[in-house]
Amino acid sequence: MQVTMTVNGTEVSRDIEPRTLLVHFLRDTLGLTGTHWGCDTSNCGVCVVWVDERPVKSCTMLAAMAGGKSVRTVEGLERDGELDPVQRGFMECHGLQCGYCTPGMMMTARWLLDHNPDPTEGEIREAISGQICRCTGYSTIVRSIRWAATHENSSSIESPETAGSPS
């Protein structure tokens, strides 16, 4: 079947198997490997991307369900070669160890900050509660998101132009 969607600001159209999960479409078909694949049960959250400006776990969503929609991946966070404040926060505050959960955490953090520019620690912890990190104990992740909130210059709610666009 043919599926067409906008990924990180670029319209893409591909032939896929109807059973293809969005995470596999992004990684295997488009080569956007920043979105990780973990549990296949929607438990770990490493696969979080945005579909029509809402975070979703792409391991349990069929690519066909994203047809006609806008998808944003971690590759779509940077703008004009500049890292998003969330990405910078994770670097500055060492919000990762192995890094496997990081893309999903960043996508959730960006969504949180776009909707709540000054979240409390409790609000941050609640936002990331659907995601698992086995390395950090979450304190550096929370600190990274707080750093991003205090260093935010502008909102990134608008759809990305071509940042992280698939080829």
Question: CATH number for the domain including 136?
Answer: 1.10.150.120
Is 23 part of any domain? Answer: yes
Question: Is the Cβ–Cβ distance between 65 and 22 less than 8 Å?
Answer: yes
Which residue has better confidence, 57 or 38?
Answer: 57
Instruction: Please tell me whether residues 6 and 58 are part of one structural domain.
Output: yes
Q: Is residue 130 part of a domain?
A: yes
- 62 and 96 part of one domain: no
φ and ψ at residue 158, rounded to 5 degrees: -60, 150
The CATH code of the domain that includes 61 is 3.10.20.30
Check whether residue 108 and residue 70 sit in a common domain: no
Based on the fold, state whether residues 54 and 89 are members of the same structural domain: no
- Predicted local confidence at residue 142, as pLDDT: 97
Position 160 pLDDT exceeds 70: no
Between helix 102-115 and helix 139-150 the angle, nearest 10°, is 40
> Residue 60 falls within a domain, yes or no?
yes
Tally of domains within the chain: 2
pLDDT value at 159 more than 80: no
pLDDT higher than threshold 50 for residue 157: no
Higher pLDDT, 84 or 134: 84
Contact 21, 13 (CB under 8 A): no
Question: pLDDT band for position 42 (50/70/90)?
Answer: confident
pLDDT in the model for residue 166:
59
Distance (Å, whole) CA 32 – CA 28: 8
Q: Is 25 exposed, middle or buried (0-12, 13-18, 19+ CB in 10 A)?
A: buried
11 and 72 both lie in a single domain = yes
Same domain, 89 and 72: no
- What pLDDT is recorded for position 43? 86
Domain-embedded: residue 118: yes
* Co-location of 53 and 93 in the same domain: no
CA–CA distances in Å: residue 43 to residues 18, 22, 37, 128: 23, 16, 11, 12
pTM: 0.88
Q: Contact at 8 Å (CB) between 35 and 93?
A: no
Range of the domain at 70: 2-76
